[in-house]
Structure 1
Amino acid sequence: MTSVVQGFTKSLAMTVLSEIGDKTFFAAAILAMRHPRRLVLSGCLSALIVMTILSALVGWAAPNLISRKWTHHITTLLFFGFGLWSLKDAIFEEGEAEELAEVEAKLDADYKTNNGATKDSNKVDDDLKKHKRPFFSQFFSPIFLKAFSINFFGEWGDKSQLATIGLAADENPFGVVLGGILGQALCTAAAVVGGKSLASQISERIVALSGGILFIVFGIQSFLTPVES
């Protein structure tokens, strides 16, 4: 039980600090301004839940493919590496404005290509279509699929995905999955409800510093923890 709680708390803290102000956070916020929030939330969250489970499964399987000693040492190095990476971003870069601009430009280009209508008329059309379709078919709408694909492929190979794999290799994978899903749900809900305004009020530098310190603490704890045979 203790290992589940430890994996849960580590995963929850890591996910929240990694995802606030991330590309997928901004993508969810911008999509929610243009489309029904329920579809955007369900699409984004479904993608992130699938990614969290897949990452935890990879981490859980790693000790069966590589010795427990090596997975433990690799996880320790990952934590230190991600911690230094986050601290570097906090000290030397202004990442939030660049990431927001990049996501907005990408979504704007896609939005103009697929539909030249205004935001308001598009939202009305989506609402009308939503009420006409059966409940389950809403979750296979273009909006749901768009939100799902943007978040799924946006997270692929991201720092938070690799950290989840490393965490699941060293902690209880069930606790890691629960903490990761709760963290993703909190961040995605915040993004959909008011992500752009929320992100503008939160210092990206403070979030990056907090995340960097947290990763280094995890690294120190992992380094001091004896390897289980």
Structure 2
Amino acid sequence: MEGFLVALAVSFGVIFVAELGDKSQLMAMTFATRFKPVPVLIGITIATALVHLVSVAIGYGLGATLPTGWISLAAGVAFLGFGAWTLRGDRLTEEERQRAERSGKSAVLAVGAAFFLAELGDKTMLATITLATQYGWFGTWLGSTIGMVAADALAILVGRWLGKRLPERTIKYGAAALFAICGIWLIVDAIGQI
């Protein structure tokens, strides 16, 4: 039970912070201007659960076959890379914005499909893979899914109530710092194992 709770807490925290300022959050804000919040959240939840299930399967499989010291080292380096990626920032392209604004027969399907495609290969997917190599798959899957949905729900609320007044610079630096701290911690842990 303790391992599950650690996986849940760590993956929730990392993915929640990683999602802040991500293009998916920008898409959530855009969808929230066109559709009611509940169908948007349902679509995001379904897409996130599917993408993160694939992510933890990949990560858990890697974790079972590779030595843990080397996995920790690779994960630490990956987290430092995620921190740099976060500092670089994500922008919603015009094509992604238009896709988000198109209305379909079902808001849940439109949002779900757009989020599923947007998350494939995204930093939150890669971070979930990395977390799953270190922690149990179920706690990582549940925590990362809840973390992303919570961050996108926050984006919907903020987007609807405050427009675009997010302190993007503070969020960007905070997320990058969290990734760097996690990366350094994993590298130090890996050096002790190798």
Q: What range describes the TM-score normalised by the shorter chain of this pair?
A: 0.7 to 0.9
CA RMSD of aligned residues (A): 2.6
Equivalences for 1:142-221 in 2 at 5 Å? 142-195=106-159, 197-198=161-162, 200-221=164-185
AA in 1 matched with 2:100: L
**Per-residue Cα deviation, 1:85-144 (whole angstroms, up to 9, x for no partner):** 323x2xxxxx57x43766434434x45xx7xxxxxxxxxxxxxxxxxxxxxxxxxx5322
Counterpart of 1:99 in structure 2 is 92
CA spacing shift, 1:105–1:196, aligned 2, 3 Å = farther
The Cα shift of 1:206 comes to: 1.1
State percent identity of aligned pairs: 26
Counterpart of 1:57 in structure 2 is 57
Equivalences for 1:26-175 in 2 at 5 Å? 26-87=26-87, 89=88, 95=89, 98-99=91-92, 103-108=96-101, 110-111=102-103, 142-175=106-139
CA distance in 1, matches of 2:35, 2:83: 36
AA in 1 matched with 2:74: I
TM-score, normalised to structure 1, is: 0.73
CA spacing shift, 1:198–1:152, aligned 2, 3 Å = farther
AA in 1 matched with 2:146: L
The Cα shift of 1:190 comes to: 2.3
AA in 2 matched with 1:187: A
Contact kept, 8 Å, 1:23 with 1:103, in 2: the verdict is no
Q: Secondary structure at the match of 2:21?
A: coil
CA spacing shift, 1:197–1:21, aligned 2, 3 Å = farther
Contact kept, 8 Å, 2:79 with 2:180, in 1: the verdict is yes
CA spacing shift, 1:199–1:57, aligned 2, 3 Å = farther
AA in 2 matched with 1:7: A
CA distance in 2, matches of 1:15, 1:165: 11
Higher RCO (C-alpha 8 Å, min separation 6): 1
Q: Secondary structure at the match of 2:184?
A: helix
Contact kept, 8 Å, 2:26 with 2:155, in 1: the verdict is yes
CA distance in 2, matches of 1:2, 1:218: 20
The Cα shift of 1:44 comes to: 1.5
Structure 2: any 5+ residue segments left out of the alignment? none
**Per-residue Cα deviation, 1:170-210 (whole angstroms, up to 9, x for no partner):** 12323222221221221232233342555623211111111
Structure 1: any 5+ residue segments left out of the alignment? 90-94, 115-140
AA in 2 matched with 1:99: L
